[in-house]
Structure 1
Amino acid sequence: MTKLNETIRLIEGIDTKAEKQMEQHINSLTKPLGSLGSVEPLAIKLAGIGRSTQPEVDPAAVVIMAADHGVTKEGVSAFPSEVTKQMVHNFMNEGAAINALAQVANASVEVVDIGVKEHLEIPGLINKKVRLGTNNMVEGPALTREEAITALEEGIEVAEKAIQKGAKLLALGEMGIGNTTASSAILSVLSHASIDKVVGSGTGINEEGIERKIQVIMRAIKVNQPNPDDPIEVLAKVGGLEIAGLAGVVLGAAAARIPVLLDGFITAVAALTAVRIAPLCEHYLMASHQSMEPGHAVVNQLLGLQPLIDLHLRLGEGSGAALSLPIVRSAVHIVHKMATFEEAKVSGIS
């Protein structure tokens, strides 16, 4: 049995009994019913994932997958492709936004090279390189099916290693110039949504650039004809290595019953791909925020996820996940620290 199939086989649904017990406990705490809003269902979900009314999310780790995209040759990004490599160095030197935000959120950062188009030797960088970037998807498949599966399995292994080191929650991040183009293509195929409804400015391209991006995606889909009922084929034909790797992280975390905190558009598309591969994955996902990419709202809706925050972010890297992590931690903390009406000798609803 392959690593991918073995992992899929291990994924189970969440514990509905633990969820009901958590709901009853939350309703017994010294507050009006439902008064903590969306924090309450978050705590209930974490109980179901962890199969306990005392769920844990610490230590938390941000996993950043980095890879390059051949489609950047088509002028779909405001930044040149070498920025992917440069930002990996920046992550490792702790100079990026995610490094600062993860410090505040008390989360570790794991950076993975799964497909940067140059060989990198940086202390601490996790080398899971499948190949040196993808092919240009307007000229044919971005990856072979075998490469897409390898990237999924590398992501599974990254999740397993992080969990073995003690992580109780995995937050997703990414770096890859051109990856909003690949993500938009994947989402358009998997959702049957119109391409112009899921394409945004990415790194900050103008209206002319957005129209060019739409045309590039249309050409890529026409050339490759990916089958929407075969998510691995979609990944291979119009996807990216970091997207496949992150989908693998989702699969690996779900198999280990560990919650996954999504970041922005690209990580959400990776999660959607994982859900299409193994539907029970959806129970392990949390949406950190709603980004400015129009496709992000589409994919969050498809996943049935309510974002925790909306700060008009469009950075990626795991930045939104890091910003929302304290809210997730708070959902757990109220369960641990708040007294019940009976314990506090406070009168309940009459």
Structure 2
Amino acid sequence: MSVGGWQSILVLGGIRSGKSDYAESLVTGDPVVRYVATGAADPADAEWLARIEKHRARRPADWQTDEVTGDPGRLIETISSARADETLLVDDLGGWVAALLDPARQPADDRATIAELTAAVRSCPARLVLVSPEVGLALVPSTPVGRAFADALGLTNQLLAEVSDTVVLVVAGQPVQLKSTGPAATATVTSGDPGEPTEPTEPKQTATVTGPEPGEPTGPEPPAAANGSNTAAQITAGMTLPMPAERTRTAGVARLGRLDLPGAGFGALENVIGFAAGTQDEASPRPWDQVQVVLIHGDHDGGVAAGDSPQDSARRADQAGAGDGALARLAATAGAVVDVVAAPGAAPIEHRPALTAAEVDSALATGWEVAQRAGRAGVAAIVIAACGAGAAGAAAAVVAATTGAEPAALLGRVPAAGGKVDDAAWMSRCAAVRDALHRTRRGTHGAREVLAEYAGGDIAVATGVLLGATANRIPVLLDGPVGVAAALVSRDLAGQARHWCLLPDHGRQPTVRHAADVLGLTPLLDLRLDLGEGATALAALPLLRSALTLADTLGEHPTFAEPEPAGPGPAAAGPAAADPVR
């Protein structure tokens, strides 16, 4: 079996299951591989030393080996400091948990250390393969030490499975895919001798929705709308969409080290260049010349809109449509086009669902079609923005429902006229979100249910835009609570969507900060602007374009220039030919 489209993968398996062989087969051929060993060598155990030596002997000679035995913090530091142009293979987490439980480091907060490892994996820029024993299929150990090991390793596996793109369970040499955000694949592995690597067969990939061929801007047809029109694709849970080209992203970042720059490099903007390289499948990506801002206007009733005015949100939408206001002026400066999209209003979520099922389908279809039009027009990037009353409160409800976060920690202060803060409005928003979560505590929380119960039309339309943009291989710049809430919902419909998202800034909004952390999106900047959704992304756009332009147009430093071949002439014939007298 071969899997594709992953940035991080967790490979589980029992003893002698073939999990290490399978993990090694995933990274064979990668340009820079670091094998991170966690098992400590015991000089008194000859059989264990022989196993370690066998593992070393079968690794390619160009792999680097890092020993991180003894101190659990060393693995966390290794993953946190990994570079985007390398691949890390960690084998295995059983050794790490053994070091974690070592009596010499007790008492210690082991759960906190496991959480630190999870955070490091979530934010790791490198390709990451984690190998771990599966202990959930065995009997409960009969000793306290054994039970502590099983509990700690089981918790570690659960948390890492949550943040990893793909999870594979290897049983008797046969890998079974448990979770995937990449293309679905089926194939078999022929198991070799114990301890010997096996070669994976070519995968047979299947996709329900695919992006356009190179040079073709059109993507799949929009999903069926509420009017029942027949279309070729449906937005359903588990739909398979394209992934950015990971190897090209890595090559794009690696290429920056060869450019003729007077300083140390691009700093945090390396991330935007790698992102653009992967989404364009070009190691030297082009600047985004044609950018479309999708401003979604849909109001919310009830407590989530406390402190907001529907009349003011309508005025903002009209301003943008007429080319006036902060968003439209920033768009004009950046050469972007603003498309104002109307979304259905949402009912008070503390009392009943925000939308009906039919309204959810219609809003998703609307967003999908917006992205389809952008693809046909050759749009290079989309900025998602929103201006509805209650949008921030509804987005906080979606994030709380999908991540389990406390609503009060997600809802930011509510600004009022004259630079004041409306604390009463903030309390009303908190109460509305908590009441909505309590009302639905016994219900299901699939993507469509989340959109219906809490999201409203604006977040549902934004979700459709994200999915449609992914299908058309168009990167999306998120800016504000509505965009990140839609990204969380999109993740549960098609895990590939979040890999097409870039977060220029968090805007100091707690909802955005938390959702970005869950999605694994690192903000590029900290401008501390608060000009409305979409405005910060547009303010940052010229800087992002400048970085892409430099990366695309600068030549290599002379150090890396190829030496010119010697031309024909007398000197090439040697000393005797240079002196005709001889």
Q: Is the 8 A contact 1:14 1:283 kept in 2?
A: yes
Match of 1:66 in 2: 297
Q: Which residue of 2 aligns with 1:295?
A: 511
SS at match of 2:379: coil
Q: Deviations over 1:24-69 (max 9, x none)?
A: 3212102379621111122112111111124342211111111111
Q: Distance in 2 between matches of 1:335 and 1:167?
A: 21
Determine which of 321, 331, 341 is the counterpart of 1:112: 341
Closer, same or farther: CA 227–40 of 1 in aligned 2, 3 Å: farther
* Aligned-partner Cα distance in 2 for 1:76–1:161: 31
Query: Residue 362 of structure 2 aligns with which residue?
Result: 150
1:200 aligns with 2:412: yes
1:183 match: 395
Offset at residue 150 of structure 1 (A): 1.8
* Cα deviation, residue 10, structure 1: 5.2
CA–CA distance in 2 between the matches of 1:79 and 1:237? 21
**What CA distance in whole angstroms lies between the structure 1 residues aligned with 2:384 and 2:370?**
12
Q: Structure 1 vs Structure 2: percent identity of aligned residues?
A: 26
Q: Hey, what's the Cα distance between the residues in 2 that align with 1:233 and 1:343?
A: 58
Distance 2:494 2:247 in 1: 22
Is the contact between residue 304 and residue 394 of structure 2 (CA under 8 Å) also seen in structure 1? Answer: no
Q: Which residue number corresponds to residue 13 of structure 1?
A: 243
Aligned partner of residue 533 in structure 2, secondary structure: coil
Rate the CA distance shift 1:102–1:9 in 2: closer, same or farther, 3 A. same
Higher fraction of helix: 1
- Aligned partner (choices 492, 502, 505) of residue 286 of structure 1: 502
Q: Report the secondary structure of 1:137's partner residue.
A: coil
Structure 1 vs Structure 2 CA RMSD: 2.5
Matched, 1:53 2:283: yes
Contact persistence 1:180–1:202 (CA under 8 A): no
CA gap 1:311/1:77 in 2 versus in 1, 3 angstroms: farther
Aligned amino acid, residue 109 of structure 1? V
AA aligned to 1:12 is P
State whether residues 136 and 142 of structure 1, in contact with CA within 8 Å, keep that contact through their aligned partners in structure 2.
Answer: yes
Separation of aligned partners in 2, 1:211 and 1:145: 29
Which amino acid in 2 is paired with 1:93? Answer: A
Shift of 1:70: 1.8
| Distance of 1:48 and 1:97 partners within structure 2 | 31
Which structure carries more relative contact order (alpha carbon 8 Å, separation 6+)?
Answer: 1
Structure 1 residue 329 displacement after superposition: 1.2
Q: Which of 212, 215, 222 is residue 431 of structure 2 equivalent to?
A: 215
The TM-score normalised by the length of structure 2 is 0.53
Which structure: larger Rg? 2
Q: Distance in 1 between matches of 2:532 and 2:234?
A: 27
Distance in 2 (CA, whole Å) between partners of 1:242 and 1:292 is 21
Q: Tell me by how many angstroms 1:198 deviates.
A: 0.4
Question: Which whole-Å CA distance do the structure 1 matches of 2:527 and 2:390 have between them?
Answer: 23
Alignment of 1:1-350 (within 5 A): 2=224, 3-5=233-235, 9=239, 11-31=241-261, 35-56=265-286, 57-71=288-302, 74=303, 76-115=305-344, 133-204=345-416, 205-225=421-441, 229-342=445-558
Contact 2:458/2:482 (<8 A) preserved:
no
1:78–1:162 distance in 2 versus 1, CA, 3 Å: same
Q: Conserved in 2, the CA contact under 8 Å of 1:175 and 1:317?
A: yes
Q: Which residue of 1 aligns with 2:198?
A: none
Moved more, 218-227 or 189-198: 218-227
Q: Residues 200 and 167 from structure 1, CA distance in 2 versus in 1: closer, same or farther, beyond 3 angstroms?
A: same
Long gaps (5+) in structure 2: 1-222, 225-232, 563-582
Count of paired positions: 328
